[in-house]
Every structure is written in C-alpha cells, then in structure tokens.
Amino acid sequence: MASLRPRRVEGVWHRFVAELHKDDADTDQGALEHGGRYNPRREFGALYLSESPAACRAEMQRRPGVRARYWHARIKVRVAKTLDLTDPSMRDKLSIAEEDLVSDDWTFTQDVGRAARRAGLDALVVPSAAGDHHNLIVFKDLLGESEIVETERVEIAPLQP
C-alpha cells in the first residue's frame, strides 16, 4: 500500500448517532471500544462516515435494534492521505475484490485497516455494505496538523426519509 498514491478528500460527510452521542458525533471512541469493519476492537479507533444521509440510513437499517430516531451530524472533513477502495483500478492493484470489502466477515477488512495505517494513510473511501453508497473511514489519531474532522451541525434525523 505504501507505493500507492493517496488522494485528498475534502467536504461534508454524514453520520447518524444516538441522542447520547450527539455532542461528540465526530469521535472515534465508540469504534475503538467496540470495533468495526475496518478497526479491531481496542486496537485503534476509526470514525465511520457516509457520503449522504441516505447512506447513513441504509447503514443503520442493517443493524439490529435500530432506533426510530437518530441525530444527523454533518462532519466537515479535510484529509490528505486517503486510499480510495471504491476505485476498481485501485482494488485491482491491491488484488482486493469488492465482495471482500462488504462481507459480513470483518477479518479481511480489519487487516486492510491495519495495512492502511502501517502505510501512513489517514483514511479509506470504501464501498458500503448497505447498498450503492460510499463510506469514509478516518483514522483520527494519524491526522496531520492541517487536516480536520469537525462537526458542522447536528439535527434530528428520522430513519424514514
């Protein structure tokens, strides 16, 4: 991965959070504690963001115990070293199949997260396991001084559009 050319990602990404977490929507601590698709539990944190509210809604509906209401956080992002795994040519260079990135078995994707961090990458753009969407996985502890991840606005977001 170290030989690949990362790209810059800048803009607003989205996240749905429970009311309890609405004041710290841009933290990676929940993923650090519980683990996620691209980060093993208690090994390192990752902030999981989606390209749109519709993508967030689709992600939340995949989970057991879906709440009737979440808070929609708009997260302003500027990261410099992002690997785009939604790009088929990038996946080909790494011999990664898209199916492996959306599988319910997280062993492979957690290895991808580890390898990305070792290569000095700040983030990954990945296909969503919840449909035709993209997600941004940010390794906040690796961000440089000029990179940002900050909550822009939080408002109530019902799961139904």
Domains within the chain, CATH numbers bracketed: 7-158 (3.90.175)
What value does the mean pLDDT take over residues 124-132?
Answer: 93
Nearest to 66 by CA among 159, 130, 132: 159
Residue 152 has which token pair?
Answer: 């822009």
C-alpha of 53 from chain center = 14
Residue 151 has which token pair?
Answer: 């909550």
Q: pLDDT, tens digit, for every residue of 39-65?
A: 999 999 999 999 998 888 888 877 776
Residue 144 has which token pair?
Answer: 């440089």
Measure the CA–CA gap between 117 and 9, rounded to whole angstroms: 17
pTM of the predicted structure, to 2 decimals? 0.91
CB–CB of 41/33 below 8 Å? yes
Quick check: 161 pLDDT over 60?
A: no
Instruction: Classify residue 54 by its DSSP letter.
Output: H
Quick check: 67 pLDDT over 70?
A: no
Confidence of residue 85 (pLDDT cuts 50, 70, 90): very high
User: Helix (H, G, I), strand (E, B), or coil: what is residue 69?
Assistant: strand
